[in-house]
Amino acid sequence: MAVGAWICLLAPLAGALLITLAGTRISRRAAGLVSTLSVAVAFGGALTAFFALLGRGAEKRAESTTAWTWLSAGEFQAGLTLLVDPLSVLMALIVSGVGTLIVAYSIGYMHGAVEERRYFAYMALFVFSMLLLVLGGNFLLLLAGWGLVALSSYLLIGFEHERPSAVAAAKKAFVMNAFGDAAFALALFVLIFRTGTLDFGGAFAALDDMSSTAVNLVALGLLAGAVAKSAQIPLHTWLPDAMEGPTPVSALIHAATMVTAGVYLIVRAHPVFEAAPAISGLAAGLGAVTLLAAGLIALVQTDIKRVIAYSTMSQIGYMFLAAGIGAYASAMFHLMTHAFFKALLFLAAGIVIHALVGQQDMRQMGGLGRYMPMTRIAFWIGALALAAIPPFSGFFSKDSILASALAEGGYGVALLVAGLVGTFLTAVYTFRMLFLVFGGEPSPFVREHYHAHGGKEGPFSMTAPVATLGVLAVIGGWIQVAGLWHPLSDFLDPITIVDREHLSLMEPTLTQDLVVAAISLALSLAGIALAWLLWSARRARVPEAAAARRTLEQRLYFDWLYDRVFYAPAVAVANAWRRYVEDPVIGGSIDGIAGGARGLGGRVGQAQTGLLRTYALAIALGAALLTLVFLSAR
Amino acid sequence: MDVGNILVWAIWVGAAIFCLGSAVAVVSFANPFFSALALIANLASLAVLYLLLSAEFVAAAQVLVYAGAVVVMFLFVIAYLGGEADAPWAGGPTWQAVAASVAAGALLLEVVMVIVLAAGDRLTDPADIRGAFGSPGEVGRLFLTDHLLAFEITAVVLLVAAVGGVILGAHSRRAEQDEVALGEPR
Amino acid sequence: MLGPDVAWYLGIAAALFATGTLGVLVRRSPLIVLLSLELMLNGANLALIGFARQFGDMGGQVFALTVMAVAASEVVVGLGLIVAMSRRRVELDVDRMNRLRG
Question: In this complex, is the C-beta atom of A568 within 8 Å of any C-beta atom belonging to chain C?
Answer: no
Q: Write b or e for each residue in A47-80: b if 16 or more Cβ atoms lie within 10 A of its Cβ, otherwise e.
A: bbbbebbeeeeeeebbbbbeeeeeeeeeeebbbb
Q: Does residue A417 sit within a domain?
A: yes
Task: Give the span between the Cα atoms of B44 and B38, in whole angstroms.
Answer: 10
Q: What is the mean pLDDT of residues A557-575?
A: 83
Q: Which 8-state DSSP code applies to residue A534?
A: I
The pLDDT assigned to C43 comes to: 94
Position B18 pLDDT exceeds 90: yes
Q: What is the mean pLDDT of chain C?
A: 87
Q: What is the mean pLDDT of residues A263-268?
A: 88
Q: Does residue A427 sit within a domain?
A: yes
Q: Does residue A424 sit within a domain?
A: yes
Residues of chain C with confidence (pLDDT) below 70 = 102
More reliable by pLDDT, A182 or B122: A182
Task: Give the span between the Cα atoms of A454 and A456, in whole angstroms.
Answer: 5
DSSP 3-state of B185: strand
- Inspect the interface and report whether the beta carbons of A620 and B110 lie closer than 8 Å: no
Q: Residues of chain B with pLDDT > 90: what percent?
A: 30
Q: Of C36, C46, C89, which has the smallest distance from its Cβ to B49's Cβ?
A: C46
- Inspect the interface and report whether the beta carbons of A610 and C25 lie closer than 8 Å: no
Nearest to A8 by CA among A107, A117, A133: A133
Q: Of C12, C56, C82, which has the smallest distance from its Cβ to B16's Cβ?
A: C12
The pLDDT assigned to A570 comes to: 87
Q: Which of A197-206, A454-463, B136-145 has the highest mean pLDDT?
A: B136-145
Q: What is the mean pLDDT of residues A175-193?
A: 87
Judge if A568 and A496 occupy the same domain: no
- Cα–Cα distances in angstroms (integers) from residue A427 to residues A299, A340, A416, A420, A422, in the given order: 10, 18, 17, 11, 9
Judge if A529 and A584 occupy the same domain: no
The pLDDT assigned to B186 comes to: 44
Summarised one tens digit per residue, pLDDT across range A97-126 is 888 988 888 888 887 777 788 888 888 999
Q: Which of residues 14-73 of B touch C (CB under 8 A)?
A: 16, 19-20, 23-24, 26-27, 29, 32, 35-36, 39, 42-43, 46, 49-50, 52-55, 57-58, 61-62, 65-66, 69-70, 73
Q: Does residue A446 sit within a domain?
A: yes
Task: Give the span between the Cα atoms of A397 and A315, in whole angstroms.
Answer: 11
CA A433 to chain centre: 23
Burial grade of B164 (CB within 10 A; 0-12, 13-18, 19 or more) = middle
Question: In this complex, is the C-beta atom of A631 within 8 Å of any C-beta atom belonging to chain C?
Answer: no
Shortest alpha-carbon distance between residue A622 and chain B (Å): 9
Task: Give the span between the Cα atoms of A579 and B74, in whole angstroms.
Answer: 71
Task: Give the span between the Cα atoms of A634 and B183, in whole angstroms.
Answer: 45
What domains are there in chain C, each with its CATH number? 6-89 (1.10.287.3510)
Decide if A42 contacts A131 (C-beta within 8 A): yes
Shortest alpha-carbon distance between residue A628 and chain B (Å): 7
Task: Give the span between the Cα atoms of A90 and A8, in whole angstroms.
Answer: 12
Judge if A497 and A570 occupy the same domain: no
Reported as a pLDDT band with limits 50, 70 and 90, residue A500 is: very low
Q: List the chains bordering chain B where 3 or more Cβ pairs fall under 8 Å.
A: A, C
Q: Of A607, A612, A613, which has the smallest distance from its Cβ to C102's Cβ?
A: A607
Q: Which residues of C touch A614 (CB under 8 A)?
A: none
Question: In this complex, is the C-beta atom of C96 within 8 Å of any C-beta atom belonging to chain A?
Answer: no
Decide if A33 contacts A13 (C-beta within 8 A): no
Q: Which residues of B touch C68 (CB under 8 A)?
A: 61-62, 65-66
Decide if A362 contacts A437 (C-beta within 8 A): yes
Q: What is the mean pLDDT of residues A588-603?
A: 90
Q: Which 8-state DSSP code applies to residue C28?
A: -
Q: Which residues of C touch A611 (CB under 8 A)?
A: 94-95, 98, 101
Helices (H), ranges, A196-260: 200-205, 212-229, 238-241, 247-251
- Inspect the interface and report whether the beta carbons of C101 and A609 lie closer than 8 Å: yes
The pLDDT assigned to A495 comes to: 63
Decide if C20 contacts C43 (C-beta within 8 A): yes
Which amino acid, residue A416? L
Judge if A480 and A575 occupy the same domain: no
Judge if A586 and A546 occupy the same domain: no
Summarised one tens digit per residue, pLDDT across range A541-560 is 666 667 777 777 777 777 77
- Inspect the interface and report whether the beta carbons of A621 and B111 lie closer than 8 Å: no
Q: Does residue A371 sit within a domain?
A: yes
Judge if A384 and A494 occupy the same domain: yes
Burial grade of B65 (CB within 10 A; 0-12, 13-18, 19 or more) = middle
Nearest to A340 by CA among A315, A370, A358: A315
Question: In this complex, is the C-beta atom of B88 within 8 Å of any C-beta atom belonging to chain C?
Answer: yes
Q: Which residues of A touch C102 (CB under 8 A)?
A: 604-610
Q: Does residue A55 sit within a domain?
A: no
Task: Give the span between the Cα atoms of A50 and A86, in whole angstroms.
Answer: 8
Q: What is the mean pLDDT of residues B150-176?
A: 82
Position A370 pLDDT exceeds 60: yes
Which residues are within 8 A (CB) of A177 and not within 5 positions of it... i.e. 6 or more apart? A150, A153, A154, A228, A229, A238
Dihedral over alpha carbons A185, A190, A194, A195 (to 10 degrees): -20
> Around A323, how many Cα atoms within 13 Å sit in the side-chain half-sphere?
34
The pLDDT assigned to A322 comes to: 86
Task: Give the span between the Cα atoms of A320 and A404, in whole angstroms.
Answer: 13
3-state secondary structure A359-371: CCEHHHCCCHHHH
- Inspect the interface and report whether the beta carbons of B107 and A613 lie closer than 8 Å: no
Q: Which 8-state DSSP code applies to residue A501?
A: T
The pLDDT assigned to A519 comes to: 86
Angle at B151 between CA B145 and CA B154, to 5 degrees: 170
Nearest to A420 by CA among A387, A380, A379: A387
Q: Write b or e for each residue in A3-39: b if 16 or more Cβ atoms lie within 10 A of its Cβ, otherwise e.
A: ebbbbbbbbbbbbbbbbbeeeeebebeebbbbbbbbb
User: Which residue in C has a C-alpha nearest to residue A609's C-alpha?
Assistant: C101
Task: Give the span between the Cα atoms of A182 and B160, in whole angstroms.
Answer: 67
- Inspect the interface and report whether the beta carbons of A613 and B96 lie closer than 8 Å: yes
Decide if A252 contacts A343 (C-beta within 8 A): yes
Reported as a pLDDT band with limits 50, 70 and 90, residue B24 is: very high
Q: At what angle do helices A304-324 and A411-438 cross, to 10 degrees?
A: 160
pTM as predicted: 0.65
Q: Of A604, A612, A616, which has the smallest distance from its Cβ to C97's Cβ?
A: A612
Cα torsion A545, A547, A550, A552: sign: negative
The pLDDT assigned to B119 comes to: 63
DSSP 3-state of A83: strand
Number of H helices, E strands in chain C: 3, 0
Span between the terminal Cα atoms of chain A, in Å:
80
Judge if A487 and A574 occupy the same domain: no
The pLDDT assigned to A482 comes to: 62
Which regions of A6-145 does DSSP assign to beta strands (E)? 63-73, 76-84
Judge if A403 and A436 occupy the same domain: yes
Decide if A230 contacts A261 (C-beta within 8 A): yes
- Inspect the interface and report whether the beta carbons of C3 and B9 lie closer than 8 Å: yes
The pLDDT assigned to B86 comes to: 66
Judge if A509 and A533 occupy the same domain: yes
CA A400 to chain centre: 24
Decide if B56 contacts C19 (C-beta within 8 A): no
Question: In this complex, is the C-beta atom of C48 within 8 Å of any C-beta atom belonging to chain B?
Answer: no
CB atoms within 10 A of CB A435: 22
User: Which residue in C has a C-alpha nearest to residue B37's C-alpha?
Assistant: C35
Domains identified in chain A, total number = 2
Q: What is the mean pLDDT of chain A?
A: 82
More reliable by pLDDT, A453 or A607: A607
Q: Of A606, A607, A617, which has the smallest distance from its Cβ to C25's Cβ?
A: A617
- Inspect the interface and report whether the beta carbons of C14 and B5 lie closer than 8 Å: no
Which has the minimum average pLDDT: A274-283, A496-505, B133-142, C75-84?
A: A496-505
CA C48 to chain centre: 14
Judge if A448 and A590 occupy the same domain: no
**Which of C54, C67, C76, C94 to mutate to probe the B interface, most B CBs <10 Å?**
C76
| Residues of the domain holding A575 | 559-595+608-632
Reported as a pLDDT band with limits 50, 70 and 90, residue B177 is: low
Position A313 pLDDT exceeds 60: yes
Nearest to A315 by CA among A419, A220, A416: A419
Q: Which of residues 36-95 of C touch A (CB under 8 A)?
A: 94-95
CB atoms within 10 A of CB B10: 11
Helices (H), ranges, C27-58: 30-55
Judge if A338 and A382 occupy the same domain: yes
Q: Does residue A90 sit within a domain?
A: no
Summarised one tens digit per residue, pLDDT across range A384-443 is 888 888 788 888 888 888 888 887 777 778 888 888 888 888 888 888 888 888 877 777
Nearest to A476 by CA among A412, A381, A552, A547: A381
Q: Which of residues 65-94 of C touch B (CB under 8 A)?
A: 65-66, 68-77, 79-93
Decide if A99 contacts A257 (C-beta within 8 A): yes
Summarised one tens digit per residue, pLDDT across range B66-124 is 888 888 888 888 888 876 666 666 666 778 888 888 999 998 998 888 888 766 667 77
Task: Give the span between the Cα atoms of A495 and A201, in whole angstroms.
Answer: 11
Judge if A402 and A516 occupy the same domain: yes
Tell me the ipTM for this assembly: 0.90
Burial grade of A94 (CB within 10 A; 0-12, 13-18, 19 or more) = buried
- Inspect the interface and report whether the beta carbons of B165 and C80 lie closer than 8 Å: yes
Decide if C75 contacts C67 (C-beta within 8 A): no
Task: Give the span between the Cα atoms of A440 and B25, in whole angstroms.
Answer: 120
Q: What is the mean pLDDT of chain B?
A: 83
Q: Does residue A506 sit within a domain?
A: yes
Q: Residues of chain B with pLDDT > 70: what percent?
A: 83
- Inspect the interface and report whether the beta carbons of C101 and A604 lie closer than 8 Å: no
Total CB pairs under 8 A between chain B and C:
274
